[in-house]
Structure 1
Amino acid sequence: MQNIKVADDGNAICEQLLFSKYDLPYVLKIPVSDLRLIDTGNNNHNPTILIRKDVILLRTGFISCIIRYNEIWLFDGTNSVVINAKDLISRNLKKNNNNTSKNCNNRIVESLCNKSGTDNGQKNVKQTDGCEKEDVKQINSYEKEELNYLNVINNFYRYNKGKAYFEFLCLDICMQLSIKEYENDLEGINYKIRDIILLQRKEENNELNMLTNKLLRDMMKIKNNLQKLSNLLNALRTNIEKILNNEHDMKNMYLTYLNKNKCNNLKDCSDLEILLETHLQLTDELYGQLENVEEKITHYEELMRLNLDYNRNKFILLNAKISFSTLLFSISSVVTSLFGMNLKNFVEDSNYAFISVSIFVSVWSIIGIYVTKNINTLLKFFDRYNFR
């Protein structure tokens, strides 16, 4: 497991521990039933956010973690998403410590400038102001690079300028990276759908499209994966809504505040509310995109089924044409074979026997050609008069 802990001096200690997850209930004093809900080894559970005493248990579908006021336990430390979360949390903590140290140095410089002469003091103040502006520009550029690295609209920790609690920083980064993974999965599904649609359009002009059945099976597999993704995202969105509607849970999420204050007299939860509402908006937008993709899949599934029905009707017509052609050919063969037998039919001595037989066979051949070309009309006639 991956553990990130904030020491008493404010420095972040990041280490990967050979620690069994089954020992966590005894170390962190959390119920085993709650641990089972966020366990990455159990794929039967949906994303969930549990608020317990002095701890937040989070499962987003890509990241499972246990957050306390000064540390975070990340499951599956070898996962790439978990590694990104660890790096971002450590980087933000180091940046926060650097900002606090710079603020302390600036305060010392300002106090020294105030004690010095007025003229020299004004010059020093201008210099320090210039340095502060340069530092602000560097910090803003660094934050923009971090935003591009995340490639997610929300960055709660940046807007709070390092004043957010440790638990909110961890919660925000884990949620951002998870939503980004949902976006990547949805984009991958979109690419697969486009490839299937292109193949379908290439083959739809052919007389018989033999790829339709295979493409339909592939589309059904993609639809199943999309349904699983939709269920996970919907569960995450539902959990965020539950917390927003429960003021008691929101107050209990202020782990750092509760660790310093015995009584929960917190009245303002606006910063946490902004964080949760931002992620709720992102999940709503992503869920809307999922519904649009699902509608697109349903639309093309109907088109493929129509194409399959069209091909099936073609085979049925071909079978009917072959059957009628065989029937008429058999009738003509029977008539001609009668004259090949050594039977007295009182016609073999006639001069018009050969001509009459030839005319009969030719007429039946013409009728057979006409019937096979207009097989639809004949089938409608049979359906109308209930011929079986």
Structure 2
Amino acid sequence: MDDVIYRDMANGWQESMLEKNQTSALKHRDFWNSAVKSRWQKPWQARQKKTAPLQPNDLPPLPRLLDDAGAASLGRIVKPTNELRMRCTEFDGEGKVTLVNGAFKKSELIAKCGLLPRDLRKIDSASLPHILVRPSAILIKILHISCLINHNRVLVFDAYGTTDSHTQSIFMYDLEGKLQLREGRSAGSLPYEFRALEAVLISVTSALEGEFEGVREPVVQVLRELEEDIDRNKLRHLLIYSKKLGTFEQKARLVRDAIDDLLEADDDLSDMYLTEKANGVTREEDDHTEVEMLLESYHKVCDEIVQASSNLVSNIRNTEEIVKAILDANRNSLMLLDLQFTILALGIGVGTFFAGLYGMNLKNFIEETDFGFPLVSISCGFFCMVAIVWGLRKLRKVQRLSMWGESGSLSPENHGRRGRGSWREVDPQGQLSGENRVDRTVRWKQDQRMNKMQEGSNEPL
């Protein structure tokens, strides 16, 4: 009995364990109902939340309309960015250097000096020369100099590549010396801003003169050498120097035009008196004699440089034209020599033609005669000379050049044609007593007109 009971209990326990294992296996097989699915789905849902698009409630609150931050960022909170800075050297009212290679924000310069954003762009870029006059400042961008002039301060901007240049350093010393001259030391002293402007113009004109001397010397030397001998290397050097000279002429012309444009603007000239404007002194629009005389003096210097460079460019152009004419003449001479040899070969070819005819092994009935060989030789030489003389005469006729063609307008070939004749064909007009050249020309035209009218009336109908 005990064995039977024990066996029944064991069978029941095995059946219950088997049912449990089957149910757990079914649960694990069902992925969507298992715990693995939930563990796999959690990070995916978190990733979806991170990449979900912004909702209207996710944006920060908008500032008020009159708030400075809202006006600057157009309704959005923007993080402050690094503003662009410009490095410059500052001179105070006494001409002392107060700051070397200092950094200024563009917004500060625009706000303090009353400038526009586009004004500072002209300093950054290598653009055309400019002299801009603003209510409280003068902005200058000419060649290697970029500076801002106030009534008591000068900012010299450090342009790229010109910080350590010799010209820039000379300008700094000259500017410091000009600014240290007090206004009341002499009767003819200039205000602070005009002394700074004069230092700028002196540096610009000195740079132009030095550059012109550096370009002029090699050009003049090459032109002198070309007068003695025309060489390929000299022509190549002349081409290189002419390009440099053309670039310099354009640069000097732009500087002169910038000063000329400022001289033509009377309102800008009157606004350049920054010291008087800072002291509350008003000035008429046409009362700008001092600054006008200052600008005109340096405008004349720039104009002289431009004229000298233009004359040198015209000399180069004239030399090139003369060289072209000489080369054309040499080429024509070579072509003429080639034609002469060709004509000579033609004459010899005519003689060899007859010699070839008599050189054939055919009976011509003069082989046995005594005068056959000299007769054929003399005939071949005669025809050779005729061909050569005829060719040379044609060549000489083609070689003759005339201003109005091969012959005058009164030649038989041009008879009946209307055209311009040579001046030798015009009959001289007699001069009356007390008659000048203009009156004689008018009388000659009237006589010619009357002669044409008479010839037209005498023609048969």
| TM-score, structure 2 normalization | 0.57
Q: In the alignment, is the contact (CA less than 8 A) between 2:96 and 2:176 conserved in 1?
A: no
Q: Once the two structures are superposed, what CA deviation does each residue of 1:231-286 show, in whole Å capped at 9, x if it has no partner? A: 3333322332332333321232223333343x644785333222112112212322
AA in 2 matched with 1:51: V
Provide the rounded CA distance (Å) in 1 between the counterparts of 2:398 and 2:93: 88
Q: Which runs of 5+ in 2 are unaligned?
A: 1-85, 408-412, 414-461
Per the alignment, residue 328 of structure 2 pairs with: 309
The 3 A distance-change label for structure 1 pair 192 and 9 is: closer
The 3 A distance-change label for structure 1 pair 13 and 293 is: same
Correspondent of 1:91 among 152, 158, 177: 177
Alignment partner of 1:183 is 2:202: no
Query: What's the offset of the Cα at 1:380?
Result: 5.0
Q: Once the two structures are superposed, what CA deviation does each residue of 1:201-231 show, in whole Å capped at 9, x if it has no partner? A: 222xxxxx5x2x6655654554444343333
Q: In the alignment, is the contact (CA less than 8 A) between 1:67 and 1:170 conserved in 2?
A: yes
Alignment partner of 1:11 is 2:96: yes
* Paired residue total: 314
Alignment partner of 1:68 is 2:150: yes
SS of 1:5 mapped into structure 2: strand
Alignment of 1:265-284 (within 5 A): 265=283, 269-284=288-303
Provide the rounded CA distance (Å) in 2 between the counterparts of 1:280 and 1:31: 27
Provide the rounded CA distance (Å) in 1 between the counterparts of 2:381 and 2:107: 89
Q: In the alignment, is the contact (CA less than 8 A) between 1:38 and 1:64 conserved in 2?
A: yes
Alignment partner of 1:52 is 2:134: yes
Query: What's the offset of the Cα at 1:14?
Result: 5.2
Per the alignment, residue 251 of structure 1 pairs with: 270
Provide the rounded CA distance (Å) in 1 between the counterparts of 2:360 and 2:177: 102
SS of 1:77 mapped into structure 2: coil
Per the alignment, residue 241 of structure 1 pairs with: 260
The 3 A distance-change label for structure 1 pair 377 and 11 is: closer
AA in 2 matched with 1:15: V
Q: In the alignment, is the contact (CA less than 8 A) between 2:262 and 2:268 conserved in 1?
A: yes
Query: What's the offset of the Cα at 1:92?
Result: 3.6
SS of 2:138 mapped into structure 1: strand
Q: In the alignment, is the contact (CA less than 8 A) between 1:186 and 1:290 conserved in 2?
A: yes
Alignment of 1:1-388 (within 5 A): 3-7=88-92, 11-13=96-98, 15-17=100-102, 30-39=115-124, 41-42=125-126, 45-69=127-151, 70-74=153-157, 75=159, 76-94=162-180, 96=181, 163-203=189-229, 211=231, 215=234, 218-261=237-280, 264-265=282-283, 269-366=288-385, 376-379=395-398
Q: Which runs of 5+ in 1 are unaligned?
A: 104-158, 204-208
Q: Once the two structures are superposed, what CA deviation does each residue of 1:26-50 show, in whole Å capped at 9, x if it has no partner? A: 78563333233344x43xx332211
SS of 1:15 mapped into structure 2: strand
Q: In the alignment, is the contact (CA less than 8 A) between 2:94 and 2:179 conserved in 1?
A: no
Task: Determine which structure has greater relative contact order: mean sequence separation of CA pairs < 8 Å that are 6+ residues apart, divided by chain length.
Answer: 1
SS of 1:13 mapped into structure 2: strand
The 3 A distance-change label for structure 1 pair 220 and 371 is: farther
The 3 A distance-change label for structure 1 pair 373 and 79 is: farther
Give the structure with the higher percent helix. 1
Deviates more, 1:22-31 or 1:244-253: 22-31
Provide the rounded CA distance (Å) in 1 between the counterparts of 2:109 and 2:349: 84
The 3 A distance-change label for structure 1 pair 349 and 64 is: farther
The 3 A distance-change label for structure 1 pair 78 and 53 is: farther
Q: Once the two structures are superposed, what CA deviation does each residue of 1:352-378 show, in whole Å capped at 9, x if it has no partner? A: 222123223433554566567767415
AA in 2 matched with 1:177: S
SS of 1:35 mapped into structure 2: helix
CA RMSD of aligned residues (A): 3.7
AA in 1 matched with 2:149: I
The 3 A distance-change label for structure 1 pair 28 and 349 is: farther
Q: In the alignment, is the contact (CA less than 8 A) between 1:88 and 1:173 conserved in 2?
A: yes
Per the alignment, residue 145 of structure 1 pairs with: none
Deviates more, 1:17-26 or 1:295-304: 17-26
Provide the rounded CA distance (Å) in 2 between the counterparts of 1:71 and 1:370: 86
| TM-score, structure 1 normalization | 0.67
Provide the rounded CA distance (Å) in 2 between the counterparts of 1:217 and 1:322: 33
Provide the rounded CA distance (Å) in 2 between the counterparts of 1:8 and 1:191: 42
AA in 2 matched with 1:86: M
Provide the rounded CA distance (Å) in 1 between the counterparts of 2:132 and 2:304: 24
Query: What's the offset of the Cα at 1:81?
Result: 1.8
The 3 A distance-change label for structure 1 pair 384 and 165 is: closer
